[in-house]
Amino acid sequence: MKRIALLVFLLAAAAVASGQENLLEKGFGGRAADDAISRKYLTPLRLVALPEASTAGVDNAGALLGPFDGQLSVGTPDVCRLSTRGGRAASVLLDFGKEIYGGIEIAAAIRSDQRALKVRIRYGESVSEAMSDVGGDAPMASATNEHSLRDFTLGVPWLGTVETGNSGFRFVRIDLVEPDAELNLKSVRGILRYRDIPYLGSFRCDDERLTRIWETGAYTVHLNMQDYLWDGIKRDRLVWVGDMHPEVMTIQSVFGGNGVVRKSLDHVRDNTPLPGWMNHIAAYSMWWVIIHRDLYLYGGDFGYLQAQQEYMKELFAVLAANMDGDRENLQGGAQRLLDWPTSEMPGVIHAGYQALLVRTMEAGVEIGGWLRDRQMQAGCRAALKRLRRHVPDHGQNKQAAAMLVLAGMADPDEVCGPVIARGGAEGFSTFYGYYMLEALAAGGLYGDAMRIISDYWGAMLDLGATTFWEDLNYAHAARAARIDEPVPAGEFDIHAQSGAYCYKGLRHSFCHGWASGPTAWLSRYVLGIEPLEPGCRAVAVRPNLGSLKWAEGTFPTPYGVIRVRHERDAAGKVVSTVSAPEEVRIVR
């Protein structure tokens, strides 16, 4: 119960009354002065129990949970002692309470042996990962050092400190590997790297689980807002532009405009000379266009949109050239990827690509109108006319069905309930789950969507997650052990034994920005806040509470924060209170 209370505290949302606090600040204290990458030292919150054979040479490990002012001295009585004398093993496993991006600082106290002593460092997004080895086919040897080092040896100085990182982790295991040696540790502190930006958006409701899911999605994306907008902080520390779309929608709902989005979009554009596909995936070039449409609608930066005009026009021509009559035929690149769980379903991929190309051309019509580029509009309209003649079969697949609904190519009444809501969270994924939720909203199934959010994303929280994962096999969640404790013998280790494709076993990222979709969805559909004109000059507020009694929150616009509260009166009618900057026209 104490651990649950702690995590609830760490993930507590910014109060609606202020709407501008920082979830990192609430968990760890303090703020820096600007939007640069900031650093903060963190003390571990607990020691995770290890087998007795691993801790025989450990004395006074609890000292590592005490405060450290950052300065060593020759008189340091309260230290953790690691000793390998007599053939003993000396290991400690630290828990920092929630996932962070960064590294650690090791402070070594005075000792008789002045040599640098070697320790093995293992970062873990789960306890299992922190106890694992790199390489091999066995589940507990499926961890990697890809994108960031998480398993390595390090020399620790005499009476000094050393810093190392960076990676995504919550747990750190330290083993003294120097034979016949003693190491006195004064401190092992986490070094959190983050953008010190306020949480302008917020969400609260009478369902605490949904509130916590909103917060966790916001925090997941925040950790990935590093020098660029990454997909993951341990693995996939890259700008995957298709994966960015849910992240950008979350950023707009939580932080408002942020330069890391533009910087990342430009990075992908500048590294993709046409006719090549962004990230070598045709779908990702289409998502780049859709992101720009949504970014302008929320932020209204005309100069930035205009700067994309020439590249975008050429991209539309490349997309049109990859049509076979009225069908998409988007070839080339590394693969035709829609969503990883559909990667071996060519018919589903075609249906999803056809719908995605329709949505891209629709965005082109809007963008062409904003830019007063009649040629762009005409080309996109011509492509749309052809594409709408061919409506592929969704094959009862949730990803394909959702994309067809969102493209206006399938009747929501015929698809949302029978296909997308069928089996609840079964068949959902953390990436395209966002579009399944969007489609359910298009069909008016807000209650079903909220139940699925609670079941699917909530299942990760139930297993000890503090950020959302690259993927979740929902059937595995029901029989899995928690990720924040050693997995008991015979129980299912969801990190080591689950996953597929690029996220098999411990390679699986447990902090993936594309999984944040419920945060944007709850702000858009439950709070009901939808930009109608570029730059949020007009914003709709049309709540959908489902079975909720009340919901409230804030939403950032270029002119300031919109504040809303919706609650049911005694007759069951939803009564709303809305305040907005005078530059924003509210449409009910």
CATH number reported for the structural domain that contains residue 473 in this entry = 1.50.10.10
d(CA 10, CA 236): 26
In the beta sheet, which residues pair with residue 576?
566
Estimate the share of the chain in helix, then strand, then coil, as percent rounded to the nearest 5: 40, 20, 40
The type of residue at 350 is H
**Token pair for 577:** 């209170």
CATH number of the domain that 163 lies in?
Answer: 2.60.120.260
d(CA 422, CA 445): 12
Residue 3 confidence (pLDDT)? 39
Tell me, yes or no, whether 330 and 253 share the same domain.
Answer: yes
Whether residue 333 lies inside any domain: the answer is: yes
Query: pTM for the complete prediction?
Result: 0.94
Residues 433/518/168/100 CA torsion (nearest 10 deg):
-170
Number of Cβ within 10 Å of residue 78's Cβ equals 10
DSSP characters for 517-559? HHHHHIIIIIS-EEE-SGGGSEEEE----TT-SEEEEEEEETT
Element (H, E) at 224: helix 208-224
Residue 304 confidence (pLDDT)? 98
Q: Which residue is listed with tokens 């087998």?
A: 51
Whether residue 545 lies inside any domain: the answer is: no
d(CA 260, CA 197): 12
Judge whether 585 and 539 are in contact, CB under 8 Å: yes
Question: DSSP code of 513?
Answer: G
Half-sphere exposure of 112 (CA within 13 A, CB side): 4
Residue 24 confidence (pLDDT)? 53
Judge whether 128 and 140 are in contact, CB under 8 Å: yes
Tell me, yes or no, whether 180 and 211 share the same domain.
Answer: no
Tell me, yes or no, whether 366 and 424 share the same domain.
Answer: yes
d(CA 357, CA 469): 28
Whether residue 544 lies inside any domain: the answer is: no
Domain with 46, as residue range(s), is: 39-195
**Among 505, 521, 537, which residue terminates a domain?**
521
Residue 16 confidence (pLDDT)? 34
Judge whether 579 and 563 are in contact, CB under 8 Å: yes
Element (H, E) at 223: helix 208-224
d(CA 361, CA 377): 9
Tell me, yes or no, whether 296 and 423 share the same domain.
Answer: yes
Tell me, yes or no, whether 76 and 159 share the same domain.
Answer: yes
* CA pseudo-torsion sign 373, 375, 378, 382: negative
Tell me, yes or no, whether 101 and 154 share the same domain.
Answer: yes
Whether residue 533 lies inside any domain: the answer is: no
d(CA 419, CA 412): 10
Question: DSSP code of 35?
Answer: S
Number of Cβ within 10 Å of residue 572's Cβ equals 6
d(CA 479, CA 75): 50
Tell me, yes or no, whether 164 and 224 share the same domain.
Answer: no
Element (H, E) at 177: none
Tell me, yes or no, whether 378 and 517 share the same domain.
Answer: yes
Tell me, yes or no, whether 297 and 257 share the same domain.
Answer: yes
d(CA 125, CA 237): 15
Residue 349 confidence (pLDDT)? 98
Tens of pLDDT along the chain (588 residues) come to: 333 333 333 434 333 333 445 555 554 444 443 468 999 999 999 999 999 999 999 999 999 999 999 999 998 789 999 999 999 999 999 999 999 999 999 999 999 999 999 999 999 999 999 999 998 778 888 899 999 999 999 999 999 999 998 999 999 999 999 999 999 999 999 999 999 999 999 999 999 999 999 999 999 999 999 999 999 999 999 999 999 999 999 999 999 999 999 999 999 999 999 999 999 999 999 999 999 999 999 999 999 999 999 999 999 999 999 999 999 999 998 899 999 999 999 999 999 999 999 999 999 999 999 999 999 999 999 999 999 999 999 999 999 999 999 999 999 999 999 999 999 999 999 999 999 999 999 999 999 999 999 999 999 999 999 999 999 999 999 999 999 999 999 999 999 999 999 999 999 999 999 999 999 999 999 999 999 999 999 999 999 999 999 999 999 999 999 999 999 999 999 999 999 999 999 999
Judge whether 131 and 139 are in contact, CB under 8 Å: no
Residue 411 CB contacts under 8 Å (≥ 6 apart), including other chains: none
Judge whether 176 and 82 are in contact, CB under 8 Å: yes
Tell me, yes or no, whether 367 and 489 share the same domain.
Answer: yes
Residue 229 confidence (pLDDT)? 98
Question: DSSP code of 205?
Answer: E
Residue 365 confidence (pLDDT)? 98
d(CA 428, CA 138): 27
Tell me, yes or no, whether 145 and 211 share the same domain.
Answer: no
Tell me, yes or no, whether 368 and 341 share the same domain.
Answer: yes
Cα dist from 243 to 126, 230, 285, whole Å: 23, 9, 11
**Token pair for 400:** 């394909």
Whether residue 30 lies inside any domain: the answer is: no
Our count of domains for the chain comes to 2
Residue 187 CB contacts under 8 Å (≥ 6 apart), including other chains: 43, 64, 68, 105, 106, 107
What's the gap between Cα 458 and its chain centre? 14
Whether residue 8 lies inside any domain: the answer is: no
**Token pair for 140:** 């507990």
Judge whether 557 and 256 are in contact, CB under 8 Å: yes
Closest CA to 197 of 168, 226, 170: 226
Cα dist from 130 to 103, 237, 335, whole Å: 14, 19, 33
* CA pseudo-torsion sign 71, 74, 76, 79: positive
Whether residue 455 lies inside any domain: the answer is: yes
Whether residue 580 lies inside any domain: the answer is: no
**Among 521, 556, 582, which residue terminates a domain?**
521
**Among 177, 195, 213, which residue terminates a domain?**
195
Judge whether 99 and 117 are in contact, CB under 8 Å: no
Q: Which residue is listed with tokens 């953008």?
A: 195
Judge whether 380 and 313 are in contact, CB under 8 Å: no
How far the first Cα of the chain sits from its last, in Å, is: 43
